[in-house]
Amino acid sequence: MSVLLAILLAVIPVQDDFSKWISQLESDSIAEREEATRLLYALGEAGVDRLEKAREGARDPEVKARLEALIARIRKAAELAKILGPTKRVTIAARGRPLKEVLAQVMAPGMAAIDPGEFDPEGRLDLQVRDVTWWEALDRVARASGAHYEIKDNGDRRVKITLIRGKEPEGPVLYAEQFRISVVEASRFDFRTPTGKKSMAMIVVEARHQPDLKPGGRMYDDVIRFDTITDAKGDDAKTLPPGWTGSRFLNPRMLGLQEGVWVRADAVLPLTITGRTDVPFPSETREISLDLSGEGSTVQAGKAMLRAMAFSSSPGGTRLSLKVESEDLPDLDQRLIPGSVFLVDSKGGRHPGFSNSSSGSNDRYTWKFEFTSGIEDPRRVVVRWVEEFHRVAIPFRLEGVRLP
Amino acid sequence: MSALSARAGTKSQKGNTPECVQSFVTGGTTLVSHLKTSIRGAMALSTLFLLAGPISVGSQEASPPKEIPRITWEETDYLGLLAKELELKTAGRIRLGKGIERKEVKVAVRDAGFYEVLDALCRAHKEVTYFIEDDVQPGTEQLTISPGRWIEYPASYHGHFKTALVAMMKTSRSSPEGNETRVETELVVFGPPWTALSWSSGAEVEWTINEARDAEGRDILAPPRIGPGDERMGISLDMHRSGNFSIHVVALRDFVLDRGLKVLAGKAKIRTVESRAVRLAAEAGATAEIPQGTLTVDSAKELEESGRESSWIIAVTLKPNESSKELNLHRVVGPRVRYDGDRGRGTYVSLPSQGRSFDVSTPPIPRSPK
């Protein structure tokens, strides 16, 4: 009997509410549009043909744009799976189950520890999610508990997530396989001097990656690229950085890759933001060893020439500069893997180095490292060097963004 | 497979080294001034500022290195000539920038400090200033009168010093952690020309804010729950201007900017230093004796560059004497370094918060001029 049922299920065409979801994309409610987007996205590559037909038939340019973004996301998901491996997916069917058991379903080897924080781990929870991404599962558990969460380093770069009382304010969130893309901060700055008033706003978009992924290189600049910021009137809300402030500082959280964009303070809300991620993941790395005897050595690593120089050792500390030059290798400054530089002594002992400054240009870059003092007979320095990057570009469209 | 070569990465031939490194070493007299500052009616609408009531000032706890008398003076003449006259009265150098409109102004002050007189001159001229709001280019640290609209900042004067509130910025922020609003105020203490206050002079200013009230008299002194640096991305109010002053940003609770502050009161404790330049040969083993111990060059490495220029990394260690063992490096060595072969431009060193060693890294400079 069960065999017959399985055969029947396999031959009966998939019944879904495709047409209903497509028309729901025109809804005035952001929540309804997002729900429809989520359900259409869940169709995966198998649904791309139908989505393309719907896009061709769509008369509303907004719906057309949403379908375009959706198709791009589905194709991107297939591409990401090839680069980063399969997305961790979660199914939870909880009816009156203890919070600790629900959290256990989200935790997995290599992912993050999740602490219920001030919540009773025995507290009961109702939650139904089916085959959602890891980030969506975590968000849904937090929301069902009446919580938001903070992500911190648990020591040794291990990730610890703690639930905190109070739901996160509603806002546009995009779950794209191993990533969660959202607006994590919106700020308005009102400036006063005796000569006048000035105002400006900033939106920070963050792409959180799954805890088991390790992006490489420099992750602070241009990891998020903005294409358009449009206000409710359809006007361009993007603007240049103001000249009346000091320096801009970044304070990203663990697992978060972020970038801010300046926005006119008088933009008519809400805003729609489109862009894409540009996150480098090392795809090919190699360990390079540079001799310290004499006056240092050079090593050719593909198109780059690495050189150890200005090695000095004194009671105050041990210092070394590492310079790389290449005329046609892009992103030189992103190719040294942080935490991968060690001085090796004559007994093979490895002593970690810490970069205290770096500088350079497109074709040459220098890092200065400090090591602990008292390293006996240092012989060589080893570094891990990225020869190839995969750059993960995920298109995003965030609607309903508001300023404080 | 890559080739491992052993090409020399550094050079230390004597003929190519810059002849010496100059390091400003602080020492000698320490002047500690306590300036009590009270700025009232501060920064309401755009240009409307009031300095109401008597301004609370306290006495200096230490004598300045030079006793400059307070000034009673009434005269009418060209601004440049009056500035020179003020130099003579105070022995403080005042630079005059190019392009100042030649205009006759009147000064009339009684028992005034240096900045009360200088402000009277600039106010009378209207088109000169010594604090340029949006000047973020590295410029001179000496007091300079330049063309520019005179701006009346809410200020208080104490002795020959002046404290002013130059800008305020409200940050309203929404994030997963919640919504927050705070106001940062940018305070500046100006030092007279004979008291170096700039960052590179090694002077330190310790600010204490005792009272902050908004226009309704509400206490806004308690710091906001989330301060600068807690956000994912922010901007600093301090624009890193150059001049003989020290800037401090204070975070306050939210208030209505357009209605301004009723009072902002506090104290700036200034620790100035007298410094002297010490010349140190850029050769491993070279030493220079200073009152706090001995400076030794650990190494001087040339980083090979193309063309006729090289940059250098010169590692220096301080060996303190018995009486200076507890002193932090920042209390002994100033941040500015000059070297031969660079037309005196020099560079700034990043002094570590711990330890006794630091590196002087030069930008590419012509190889040894000698």
Q: Are residues B35 and B131 in the same domain?
A: yes
Q: Are residues A275 and A288 in the same domain?
A: no
Q: How many domains does chain A have?
A: 4
Q: How many Å apart are CA A239 and CA A230, to the nearest integer?
A: 11
B231: nearest CA in chain A?
A251
Please, what is the average pLDDT of chain B? 74
Q: Which of A246, A247, A299 sits opposite B4 (nearest CB)?
A: A299
- How does residue B272 score in pLDDT terms, banded at 50, 70 and 90? confident
pLDDT of B30 strictly over 60: no
Q: Which of A148, A295, A314 sits opposite B9 (nearest CB)?
A: A295
- How does residue B232 score in pLDDT terms, banded at 50, 70 and 90? confident
pLDDT of B6 strictly over 60: no
Q: Please judge whether A193 and B6 are an interchain contact, meaning their C-beta atoms are less than 8 angstroms apart.
A: no
Most A CBs within 10 A among B1, B2, B242, hence the mutation to make, goes to B2
CATH number of domain containing A368 = 2.60.40.1640
CA distances from A185 to A88, A277, B129, B174, B176 (A): 26, 17, 38, 6, 8
Residue B4 placed within a domain: no
**Which range (A127-131, A214-218, A387-391, B302-306) has the least confidence?**
B302-306
Q: Which of B171, B299, B359 sits opposite A189 (nearest CB)?
A: B171
pLDDT of A10 strictly over 50: no
Q: What is the DSSP string of A250-311?
A: E-PPTTEEEEEEEE-TTPPSSEEEEEEE-EEEEEEEEEEEEE-STT--EEEETTEEEEEEEE
Q: Which of B6, B134, B179 sits opposite A294 (nearest CB)?
A: B6
CB atoms within 10 A of CB A120: 10
Average pLDDT (A229-241) is 95
- How does residue B47 score in pLDDT terms, banded at 50, 70 and 90? very low
Residue B5's pLDDT is 21
Q: Which of A166, A188, A251 sits opposite B231 (nearest CB)?
A: A251
Residue A104's pLDDT is 93
Q: Are residues B326 and B242 in the same domain?
A: no
B283 touches chain A (CB under 8 A): no
B12: nearest CA in chain A?
A295
H-run or E-run covering B320: strand B309-320
pLDDT of B262 strictly over 80: yes
Q: Is this complex's ipTM strictly greater than 0.90?
A: no
Last residue of a domain, one of A31, A57, A84: A84
Domain residue limits at A292: 283-388
Please, what is the average pLDDT of chain A? 87
Residue B3 placed within a domain: no
Q: How many Å apart are CA B17 and CA B369, to the nearest integer?
A: 9
Q: Are residues A228 and A132 in the same domain?
A: no
Residue B2 placed within a domain: no
B229 touches chain A (CB under 8 A): yes
**Which range (A3-17, B91-105, B286-300) has the least confidence?**
A3-17
B167 touches chain A (CB under 8 A): yes
Average pLDDT (A41-68) is 90
Q: Are residues B269 and B304 in the same domain?
A: no
pLDDT of B27 strictly over 60: no
Structure tokens of B5? Answer: 């070569």
Which of A338-352, B36-50, B132-146 shows the highest mean pLDDT? Answer: A338-352
CA distances from A87 to A79, A276, B16 (A): 11, 19, 58
Q: Are B82 and B121 in contact (CB under 8 A)?
A: yes
Query: Would you call B236 helix, strand, or coil by DSSP?
Result: coil
Q: Which of B293, B297, B328 is nearest to B315 (CA)?
A: B297
Q: Please judge whether B167 and A248 are an interchain contact, meaning their C-beta atoms are less than 8 angstroms apart.
A: no
Q: Are residues A184 and A64 in the same domain?
A: no
Q: Are residues B186 and B332 in the same domain?
A: no
A252 touches chain B (CB under 8 A): yes
Q: Are residues A250 and A396 in the same domain?
A: yes
For A324-358, what is each residue's pLDDT tens digit?
999 888 888 889 887 889 999 989 999 999 887 78
Percent of chain B at pLDDT > 90 equals 26
Residue B218's pLDDT is 94
Last residue of a domain, one of B255, B273, B291: B273
Average pLDDT (A209-226) is 82
Residue B327's pLDDT is 77
Q: Which residue has the higher pLDDT, B60 or B352?
A: B352
Residue A194 placed within a domain: yes
Average pLDDT (B213-226) is 83
CATH number of domain containing A132 = 3.55.50.10
Local structure of residue A316 (DSSP, 8 states) = T
Residue A163's pLDDT is 96
B47 touches chain A (CB under 8 A): yes
Which of A274-278, A312-316, B142-146, B336-340 shows the highest mean pLDDT? Answer: A274-278
pLDDT of B304 strictly over 70: no
Q: Are residues A74 and A220 in the same domain?
A: no
Q: Are residues B269 and B306 in the same domain?
A: no
Q: Which residue has the higher pLDDT, A370 or B23?
A: A370
Q: Are A203 and A274 in contact (CB under 8 A)?
A: no
- How does residue A15 score in pLDDT terms, banded at 50, 70 and 90? low
Residue A1 placed within a domain: no
Query: Would you call B37 helix, strand, or coil by DSSP?
Result: strand
Last residue of a domain, one of A52, A84, A116: A84
Q: Give the total residue count for chain A.
A: 404
Q: Are residues B330 and B267 in the same domain?
A: no
Average pLDDT (B74-87) is 95
Residue B317 placed within a domain: yes
Most A CBs within 10 A among B149, B152, B174, hence the mutation to make, goes to B174
Tell me the shortest Cα–Cα distance from A253 to chain B, in angstroms.
7
Residue B5 placed within a domain: no
pLDDT of A42 strictly over 70: yes
Q: Are residues B261 and B291 in the same domain?
A: no
Q: Are residues B193 and B234 in the same domain?
A: yes
Percent of chain A at pLDDT > 90 equals 46
B59 touches chain A (CB under 8 A): no
pLDDT of A93 strictly over 90: yes
Which of A66-80, A127-141, B293-307 shows the highest mean pLDDT? Answer: A127-141
Q: How many domains does chain B have?
A: 2
Spell out the residues 6+ positions from residue B166 whose beta carbon is closer than 8 angstroms to its own.
A193, B131, B133, B153, B186, B187, B188
Percent of chain A at pLDDT > 70 equals 92
Residue B45 placed within a domain: yes
Residue A2 placed within a domain: no
Average pLDDT (B94-111) is 93
Residue A77's pLDDT is 82
Q: Are residues B194 and B120 in the same domain?
A: yes
Q: Are residues B193 and B255 in the same domain?
A: yes
Residue B49's pLDDT is 19
Beta bridge partners of A262: A202
Phi/psi of residue B83, each to 5°?
-65, -40
Residue A149's pLDDT is 93
Residue A10 placed within a domain: no
Q: What is the DSSP string of B89-147?
A: HHT---EE-TT----EEEEEEEEE-HHHHHHHHHHHHSSEES--TT--S---SS-EEEE
pLDDT of A246 strictly over 50: yes
For A255-305, what is each residue's pLDDT tens digit?
999 999 999 999 999 999 999 999 988 888 999 999 887 666 889 988 999
Last residue of a domain, one of B273, B300, B329: B273
Average pLDDT (B114-125) is 97
Residue A358's pLDDT is 80
Spell out the residues 6+ positions from residue A157 whose beta carbon is closer than 8 angstroms to its own.
none
Residue A161's pLDDT is 94
Domain residue limits at B142: 28-273
B129 touches chain A (CB under 8 A): no
Residue B135's pLDDT is 58
**Which range (A121-130, B75-84, B126-135, B167-176) has the least confidence?**
B126-135
Residue A4 placed within a domain: no
Q: Are residues B14 and B119 in the same domain?
A: no
Average pLDDT (A149-172) is 86
Q: Are residues B171 and B315 in the same domain?
A: no
A195 touches chain B (CB under 8 A): yes
Q: Please judge whether B174 and A260 are an interchain contact, meaning their C-beta atoms are less than 8 angstroms apart.
A: no
B225 touches chain A (CB under 8 A): no
H-run or E-run covering B81: helix B79-90
